[in-house]
Amino acid sequence: MDEAVARSLENYIIVDIGANLTNKKFSKDLEHVVARARDAGVQKIMVTGTSVQGSKDALRLARLYAGTLYCTAGVHPHEAKSWTEDSYSTLKEVANSVECVAIGECGLDFNRNFSEPAVQMAVFEKQVGLACDVKKPLFLHERDAHDELVGVLNKFGHRLPAGVVHCFTGSVAQLATYLDMGFYIGLTGYLWKDKTTEGLRHMLETGLLPLERLLVETDAPFMFPNTRASKVPSHVRDRLTPRALSYLQRYCSFQRNEPCSLPATVEMIAAFLNKSPEDVALATTFNALKLFGLST
């Protein structure tokens, strides 16, 4: 490994735009999880709100770890059926807090339909309206519902705020639509398993997904980046540094991914882009600061 690359990793400054730190898997050692993230170079983490109560819990964590953790306020499409007449006002109260930097995780998921599609559509539209009202960006979730999600967003016209399509795994055509709409694209450790002809790797290698619109996230405790898998090309695996792998392999697993794994994902992205990892870290951090207004 190049010594300059090894040294640069110690100076990574990365923003994890999506980690589910309110998940019960982090209930016993969150302080250590946050400390490990910072040691690995992940200096700021956005804690995802996926329900009304989860958004309140995310805000509580953001206040406990002020300057390191931030939060979002939203109801995940899986949880849309839990929406009540008080949900909007409660979410708005969270959203108006300085620690809250986005509305979501909100959107549509017609893959599993844990909530009925019609209910998902109604609750999603309410949350896009909330983002317009409080003038904060959207943190979007979409699975097998691209056209329907775009249809809801287009209802808001020029009022629609900026945002990110989190954990993107869609097609080239869907990517082009989101980019044309001005959205950023969030990538996770899913990258290790994607090897379709026109999948994420292709989008990065061909420049279809430009660095200036890219954000990185762990979606912890999910989306563990299995860098040891045979699906990871050798030229990518060879560019993963011992320091990044040490955090990934020592502290993370399929059962519980952590934000400290993010440098490994950044290095994979850099390999596919044929850029240096420090350039990817710098650009994605700048993008996160710009989109979400995170304090420096």
DSSP string for 181-238? TT-EEEE-GGGGT---TTSHHHHHHTTSS-GGGEEE---TTS----TTSTTS-HHHHT
Give pLDDT, residue 129: 98
259 upstream amide cis, omega within 30 of 0: no
Phi, psi of 195 (to 5 degrees): -145, 25
Best CA proximity match to 220, nearest among 282, 262, 273, 176: 262
DSSP string, 132-146: HHHT--EEEEEES-H
Q: Supply the CATH classification number for the domain 3-292.
A: 3.20.20.140
Binding residues: 105, 141, 166, 219
* CA 178 to each of CA 18, 59, 138, 152, 286: distance values in angstroms, whole numbers, following the listed order: 19, 28, 13, 13, 20
Element spanning 72, H or E: strand 69-73
Percent of the chain with pLDDT over 70: 96
**pLDDT band at 83; cut points 50, 70, 90:** very high
Q: Cα(14)–Cα(216) distance, rounded to whole angstroms?
A: 8
Percent of the chain past pLDDT 90, that is, above it, reads 92
What residues does 42 pair with on adjacent strands?
14
Binding residue positions for a divalent metal cation: 105, 141, 166, 219
DSSP 8-state class, residue 49: P
pLDDT for the residue numbered 261: 98
The amino acid that residue 221 corresponds to is P
**How many contiguous H segments (helices) and E segments (strands) does the chain have?**
12, 8
Domains of the chain, by residue range, sit at 3-292
Residue 9, pLDDT above cutoff 50: no
Reported as type and span, the H/E element at residue 53 is helix 52-64
Q: Answer yes or no: is pLDDT of 3 > 80.
A: no
Q: Report pTM.
A: 0.95
- Assign 106 to helix, strand or coil: strand
User: Cα–Cα distance between 125 and 154 in angstroms, integer?
Assistant: 11
Q: Residue 143 has what pLDDT? A: 96
Each residue of 191-232: pLDDT tens digit? 988 877 789 999 999 999 999 999 999 999 999 999 999 999
Average pLDDT on 177-202 reads 92
Q: Which pLDDT belongs to residue 10?
A: 60
